[in-house]
Chain A
């Protein structure tokens, strides 16, 4: 821990912290268009970090990661509705519950699901997401397929943008430092062992189950936080919060930045969002064709993503880009 506290001067954490600081002063200096832009961007970045904790640190391909995001949104929305009328405290205090419920769900499904590997795990997580989405489609108390509007419960809190913004800045900061701390700390050794060869790691005395479950739940926690914030920001939750296209975006971001790197989600997220915005305006129907192609090209040409490839290219930069 002490070592970690001293690490802030290293280039990577310094850069990430400065990015968070820069994001924190955006509302003071820029107009509301930029603020909304940054909210969407930070939501994706927090999600990319949370997915990176699962895919980058233990090497399990989680195709249903968006389930934690959707669950987080529904926990916040459901709790707001359960209050019945105008609620007496600031709704954003519900966001931690979103994270905790998502993490608890990850613990529950992680014990059976993390016993299977590779493509089996990928499809199992996809199916879990599809199953949970089906449940919410048919859950009429929470609006079913029409979704649950929240604005009539939250009339006393008209400004959602400011709290959303700062909750996301703090989440992004914490997500980076959690990821970086795990990567650089003692757990990082165990996790790298699991990434390289899980069976050998287990034989050498690494408690693989504990590591895997912990990372899965931690990833779910941050995804739940982002989801809860997003639900309150939108004033609305519906089964579309489980849409698979969010997972697609996250994988593109992670591959672009570099799987398992601490800077990857920031770099990949920024590039992705900028490019998507540009493409969506010019080619509204074709941008996913483009992203599929990008994914193929990155997998074939830059398997380590931008950060990983730069590290390979200039070994001296390894100390700088982590």
Chain B
């Protein structure tokens, strides 16, 4: 019985954690390269989730979340481009206070727009219901699909970062901005592309989260915080670290929820964050301390 419970907690943790990891990928990319912590990341995730919700509940027959995924990528890229050229470009290189407060302002603004448009109600996208039963273990099909999509999406991202010229310039700028600039890389252009990719990833994560867990405007800040914790755990600007960190956070949440109380999961995540900040501020894969 105890063993079943533990296995079930591991399964839930891995399934949810992989989506968290994808959500944090965008944040870690932006943070690592621009040195800007985007507090509005949770709102970008929610925009993706509400996009899926709206498309799924269209009057003339809903659009499948799989198709919504293909719409969410360009939509996220567009939003990212607008926010970057309109706002973030103006504060590049300014102090952390300025950039944090700017993204904080964007976050409050977007969140309350969502609140006014969609009301504070908790929404769900009921798609691919049902579960696989493996003996006493339960594996929801929608979460399994989400896990598969996370693997595909992160595979595409890794291939892009490793193989393409743009991906290589992103990694170069992340490692050493001056050296990259001296080799003729357009720094501002690369920062813009990284932010656009980060936002598109947030939208994709939102689509996947919407079929996995319920969401409401109030869940945006927890998404931002969870993504932040994952970035700290995995190491700044490390995509692989973000995926692994997502699994760790997912497992910590599920074990706390299963064995202590669901009410204490935010506190458990806080403890994880503070432990890492004190003992290993560079994260699992990180090379910088600051």
| Interface residues, chain A, with chain B CB atoms under 8 Å away | 55, 59, 61, 112, 115-120, 122-124, 126-128, 130-131, 134-135, 137-138, 244, 248, 251, 255, 259, 285-286, 288-289, 291-296, 299-300, 303
Which residue, A117, A248, A259, A288, has most C-beta atoms of chain B within 10 A? A288
The answer to whether the Cβ of B213 comes within 8 Å of any Cβ in the partner chain is: no
Q: Assess whether A296 is in contact with B263, with CB atoms less than 8 Å apart.
A: no
* Residues A134 and B267 in contact, CB atoms below 8 Å apart: yes
Task: Report yes or no: A299 in contact with B112, Cβ–Cβ below 8 A.
Answer: no
Contact with A along B83-104 (1 / 0, CB 8 A): 0000100110010111011101
Q: List, in ascending order, chain B residues with CB within 8 A of A127's CB.
A: 225, 229, 269-270, 273-274
- Interface flags, B49-91, vs A, CB<8A=1, else 0: 0000000000000000000000000000000000000010011
A55 pairs with B97, CB closer than 8 A? yes
By the criterion CB–CB under 8 Å, are A288 and B112 in contact?
Answer: yes
Question: In the assembled complex, which residues on chain A have CB atoms less than 8 Å from the CB atom of B137?
Answer: none
Give the shortest distance, in Å, between B263 (CB) and chain A (any CB): 6
Prevailing SS type, chain A contact patch: helix
CB<8 Å pairs between A and B, sample of 7: A119-B37, A128-B270, A134-B264, A248-B104, A251-B104, A285-B115, A292-B112
CA distance A259 to B97 in the complex (A): 10
| Docked pose: A134 CA to B91 CA in angstroms | 35
Number of interface residues of B (CB under 8 A): 43
Q: CB within 8 A of B106: which of A128, A130, A294, A296?
A: A296
Interface residue from A112, A124, A137, A291 paired with B108 (Cβ < 8 Å):
A291
Cα distance, A137 to B267, chains bound together (Å): 12
Q: Which of B90, B91, B267 has the most CB of A within 10 A?
A: B267
- Asked if A289 contacts B87 (CB within 8 A), the reply is no
Which residue of B37, B87, B102, B108 contacts A288 across the interface (Cβ within 8 Å)? B108
Q: Closest CB-CB distance, A121 to chain B, in whole Å? A: 9
* A-B pairs with beta carbons under 8 A, tally: 117
B265 nearest CB across to chain A (Å): 9
C-alpha spacing A46/B214, complex, angstroms? 39
Give complex CA distance A289, B106 in Å. Answer: 9
Q: How far is the CA of A170 from the CA of B160 in the complex (A)?
A: 61
Most chain A CB neighbours (cut-off 10 Å) among B37, B101, B110, B116: B101
- Taking the closest CB of chain B, its distance from the CB of A300, in whole angstroms, is 6
A299–B102 CB distance below 8 A: yes
Determine the distance from Cα of A122 to Cα of B263 in the docked complex, in whole angstroms. Answer: 23
Say how far B97's CB is from chain A's closest CB, in angstroms. Answer: 6
Cβ of A70 to closest chain B Cβ, rounded Å: 15
Given the complex, which residues of A lie within 8 Å of B96, measured CB to CB?
A: 61, 117-119
List the B side residues contacting A251 at CB < 8 Å.
101, 104
Given A299-B98, A300-B87, verify A130-B270 contact (CB < 8 Å).
yes
Taking a contact as CB atoms under 8 Å apart, the answer to whether B263 and A292 are in contact is: no
Given A120-B277, A135-B267, A292-B107, residue A255 in contact with residue B112 (CB < 8 A): no
Instruction: Assess the A295–B104 pair: CB atoms within 8 A.
Output: yes
**A255 contacts B109, C-beta separation under 8 Å:** no
Name the residue of chain B whose CB is nearest to the CB of A294: B105
Residues of B within 8 A of A138 (CB): 261, 263-264
List, in ascending order, chain B residues with CB within 8 A of A299's CB: 91, 98, 101-102, 105
Contacts of A286 in B (CB 8 A): 112, 116
Instruction: Report yes or no: B281 in contact with A296, Cβ–Cβ below 8 A.
Output: no
Tell me the smallest distance from the CB of A123 to a CB of chain B, in Å. Answer: 5
B97's partner among A59, A126, A134, A248 (CB-CB below 8 A) is: A59
Looking at A137, A251, A299, which has the most chain B CB atoms within 10 Å of its CB? A299
